[in-house]
């Protein structure tokens, strides 16, 4: 069993810049500018935000903070992901001293964003990783994707001995902001924020 061990060498959590802070006042402004909502929806959203326990130290996507949630672009979605992925990976490689070409396995999980070329391809190209890296893009799995990604790495370590793996886990909120008035759909706007880790 020891030959199948999987150790975490480092963990890097994304922290956005202060201009992306989504405090209660900012949330209220975003809710109030949605002209599709009636009084019942306003009450529901404000009550959900207050009861969510998220606090004043969360971060939102730039397009939503700028009032462009109804017209997201692919470029903005890539910018949101690049900031999270590259920010955490730069810190991770610096902290561990592991060089990007030393990485044998790369897994990226983002449940609602699956562009082509893939996010793993963006990482491989940016960091000049090896041509024979084993890369996996996981999407459509929701909140369980991080656990699936770690399980995938553990299983790959059974075949690839003494390997380095990187798991990048995140979500893109900006292009998936819901501007309608169904309560169950509006919940994601209240409960999810920009973030991720490597």
Q: What is the pLDDT of residues 125-158, one digit of tens each?
A: 999 999 999 999 998 887 788 999 999 999 999 8
Give the number of domains in the chain: 1
Predicted confidence at residue 183, as pLDDT, reads: 87
Beta carbons within 10 angstroms of residue 152's beta carbon: 18
Taking alpha carbons only, the member of 145, 186, 152, 141 closest to residue 169 is 145
Tokens of 30: 């975003």
Please state the rounded mean pLDDT for residues 168-172.
91
- Identify whether 4 is part of a domain: no
- Identify whether 113 is part of a domain: yes
Phi, psi at 109, each rounded to 5°: -125, 125
Please state the rounded mean pLDDT for residues 1-29.
83
Taking alpha carbons only, the member of 195, 161, 189, 168 closest to residue 177 is 189
Average pLDDT, the chain: 89
State yes or no: pLDDT of 1 exceeds 70. Answer: no
Helix (H, G, I), strand (E, B) or coil at 22: coil
- Identify whether 7 is part of a domain: no
User: Residues of the chain with pLDDT > 70: what percent?
Assistant: 98
- Identify whether 6 is part of a domain: no
- Give me the domain span that covers residue 108: 13-197
- Identify whether 5 is part of a domain: no
pLDDT band of residue 3 (cuts 50, 70, 90) is: low
Give the CATH number of the domain where residue 87 resides: 3.40.47.10
User: Residues of the chain with pLDDT > 90: what percent?
Assistant: 51
Please state the rounded mean pLDDT for residues 92-101.
95
Cα separation of 151 and 134, whole Å?
A: 15
Predicted confidence at residue 57, as pLDDT, reads: 85
- Identify whether 3 is part of a domain: no
Q: What is the DSSP letter of 13?
A: B
pLDDT band of residue 4 (cuts 50, 70, 90) is: low
What does pTM read for this prediction?
0.88
Please state the rounded mean pLDDT for residues 65-83.
93
Cβ atoms of 189 and 36 within 8 Å: the answer is no
- Identify whether 8 is part of a domain: no
Higher-confidence residue: 184 or 86?
86
């Amino acid at each position: 069993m020891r030959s199948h061990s999987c150790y975490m060498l480092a963990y890097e959590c994304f922290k956005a810049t202060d201009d992306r802070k989504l405090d209660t006042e900012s949330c209220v402004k975003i809710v109030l500018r949605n002209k599709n909502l009636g009084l019942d929806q306003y009450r529901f959203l404000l009550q959900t935000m207050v009861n969510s326990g998220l606090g004043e130290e969360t971060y939102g996507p730039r397009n939503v903070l700028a009032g462009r949630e109804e017209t997201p672009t692919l470029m903005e979605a890539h910018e949101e992901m690049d900031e999270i992925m590259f920010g955490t990976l730069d810190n991770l490689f610096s902290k561990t001293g592991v060089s990007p070409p030393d990485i044998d396995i790369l897994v990226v999980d983002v449940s609602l964003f699956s562009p082509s070329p893939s996010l793993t391809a963006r990482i491989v190209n940016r960091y000049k990783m090896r041509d024979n890296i084993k890369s996996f893009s996981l999407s459509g799995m929701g909140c369980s994707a991080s656990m699936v990604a770690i399980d995938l790495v553990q299983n790959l370590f059974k075949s690839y001995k003494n390997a380095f793996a990187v798991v990048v886990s995140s979500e893109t909120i900006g292009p998936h902001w819901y501007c309608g008035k169904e309560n169950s759909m509006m919940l994601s706007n209240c409960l999810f924020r920009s973030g991720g880790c490597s």
